[in-house]
Amino acid sequence: MANDSSRLRISAVNDVVRIDFVDRDILDEATIRQIGQDIQRRLEPMSAPKVLMCFAVVEHLSSAALGTLITVNSLVKKKGGMLRLAEIRPEILEVFYITKLNKHFSIDESAAAALKALA
């Protein structure tokens, strides 16, 4: 397991990079920028990365955080990899539906389901 940032817990599950957010709020611009940089640094040397991002503890996220997720998704797609999001609380999931980003991201109810889809 590697701690790239105090805001993330990054681990390897077989060939999947699992990223768990550790903060309830993903709002602060500087923090969001740091999260994006940490993830990109982790994925940069990889080819066709399989990535799972878990939001179990996240209670609030801003449009800036959505922007970072879009940037990470673009990076993963560019590398021929796959990104799945999981364990998103209903109120946060509604944000994805309002912005229609549910069409842009692959979203699973549980981490187990996401890992199965990435296998």
Partner 1 sequence: MPARTVGHAILRGLRAEIDACQSAVEEAMAQHGYGREALFAVRLALEEALVNAIRHGNRHVPGGQVDFRWSVDGDEARFEVRDQGDGFDPDAVPDPTHDDNLEIPSGRGIMLMKAYMSEVAYRDPGNHVSMVYRRSKDA
DSSP annotation of 79: T
CA dist 74 and 109 (Å) reads: 22
We find the least distance from the C-beta atom of residue 13 to partner 1, in angstroms, to be 27
Does 37 interact with partner 1 (rule: CB under 8 A)?
Answer: no
Does 62 interact with partner 1 (rule: CB under 8 A)?
Answer: yes
Interface residue with partner 1, options 64, 93, 113, 117 (CB under 8 A): 64
Q: How many CA atoms lie within 13 A of 97 on its CB side?
A: 7
Helix 63-78 with 29-43: angle, nearest 10 deg: 10
CA dist 62 and 80 (Å) reads: 27
Does 4 interact with partner 1 (rule: CB under 8 A)?
Answer: no
Does 78 interact with partner 1 (rule: CB under 8 A)?
Answer: no
Does 95 interact with partner 1 (rule: CB under 8 A)?
Answer: yes
Interface with partner 1 (CB under 8 A) = 27-30, 60, 62-64, 66-68, 70-71, 74, 91, 95, 98-101, 103-104
